[in-house]
Amino acid sequence: MPKTALITGITGQDGSYLAEVLLEQGYDVWGMVRRASTESYERIEHLRDRVRFVQGDLLDQPSLTSALLQAGPDEVYGLAAQSFVPTSWSQPVLTAEFTAVGVTRLLEAIRQVNPAIRFYQASSSEMFGKVRETPQNELTPFHPRSPYGVAKAYGHYISVNYRESYGMFCCSGILFNHESPRRGLEFVTRKVSDGVARIKLGMTDTLTLGNLDARRDWGYAADYVRAMWLMLQADTADDYVVATGVTHSVQELVETAFGYVGLDWRDHVRTDPALIRPAEVDLLVGDASKAHGELGWEATVDFTGLVQMMVDADLERLS
């Protein structure tokens, strides 16, 4: 009997890769999508005839209950969120409604429809914020530095609480930044790969960025969604850091991407104070020893391989 999974946020970067993994595993895959005047199915176009869709929105409790009743999942992957950190300052209340309280709405729907459903919560290294120790692991205290980080800390703790209060199988994956050619264009890696491709192809000459000193632990999204699936196959529900363990600055990202196509970044990159955040997360680097040891998870793509993959994909798309 094949298992059934429901993915919220299936139209996003991670949802598209996770759907591929689950289909490969023989799952019946359902995706929750929100109604829009224009469909945003670009990342899952190639999967459309293999996935079933149900409408729902994190703001609307009855739609979540209906989605669960319709799909009848064994596993729910809660990936939907307002996921862009700068937007969380301009829309802090909406971010809290989607990214924080939305998790409670989904957990309540699961508890009422079928509390045996296994649940994955898309938690974030942004919760570590102004980091208390380096590298960060599952026991590192949180100090979020944006309304997004605060909302994710809520989502993490409410998932832990439903596990501890009701015995539900809730896993919180504390994932560090993960990227791919399907990454949204506003995130820094994709902004850089897209910008480098445009400059290389003569479509523009300049790339404007914010803080070049921030450091992130960047991995490949297709690797990270495997960790989500592995968490829900474990004997007991738990929380896991997923990271490469290697950190690079935004400047190193820029140097690597421009260098790959034979350009000097100093000739093209400008900085704009308007892109500096009200509060910054200066350094993230994760310790994924628990995921390695208990789940057998490993990253397969390193930083240079990731940057080159993204630049190649944008060059091909724009050529």
Which residues form the interface with ligand G4F (CB under 6 A)? Answer: 83, 85, 124-126, 176-177, 186-188, 191, 209-211, 214, 216, 250, 275, 277, 280-281, 284
Annotated catalytic, 260? no
Identified binder of ligand NAP from the candidate list 4, 5, 6, 13, rule CB under 6 A? 13
Contact between 92 and ligand NAP by CB under 6 A: the answer reads no
Query: Which residue out of 124, 172, 180, 193 is catalytically annotated?
Result: 124
Closer to ligand NAP at the Cβ: 14 or 255? 14
Annotated catalytic, 148? yes
Identified binder of ligand NAP from the candidate list 122, 171, 295, 306, rule CB under 6 A? 122
* 191 contact choice in ligand G4F, ligand NAP, none (CB below 5 to 8 Å, kind-dependent): ligand G4F
Residues 242-281 that bind ligand NAP (CB under 6 A): none
* 184 contact choice in ligand NAP, ligand G4F, none (CB below 5 to 8 Å, kind-dependent): ligand NAP
Residue with tokens 């209340």: 93
Residue 84 CB, shortest distance to ligand G4F, in Å, is 7
Query: Which residue out of 17, 41, 148, 162 is catalytically annotated?
Result: 148
* 34 contact choice in ligand G4F, ligand NAP, none (CB below 5 to 8 Å, kind-dependent): ligand NAP
Query: Which residue out of 75, 126, 179, 255 is catalytically annotated?
Result: 126
Number of Cβ within a 10 Å radius of residue 266 = 9
Residue 21 in contact with residue 47, Cβ under 8 Å? no
Annotated catalytic, 90? no
* 223 contact choice in ligand G4F, ligand NAP, none (CB below 5 to 8 Å, kind-dependent): none
Size of the site for ligand NAP (CB under 6 A): 25
The residues carrying an active-site annotation are: 124, 126, 148
- Binding residues (CB under 6 A) for ligand NAP: these are 8-9, 11-15, 34, 36, 40, 57-59, 79-83, 98, 122, 124, 175, 177-178, 184
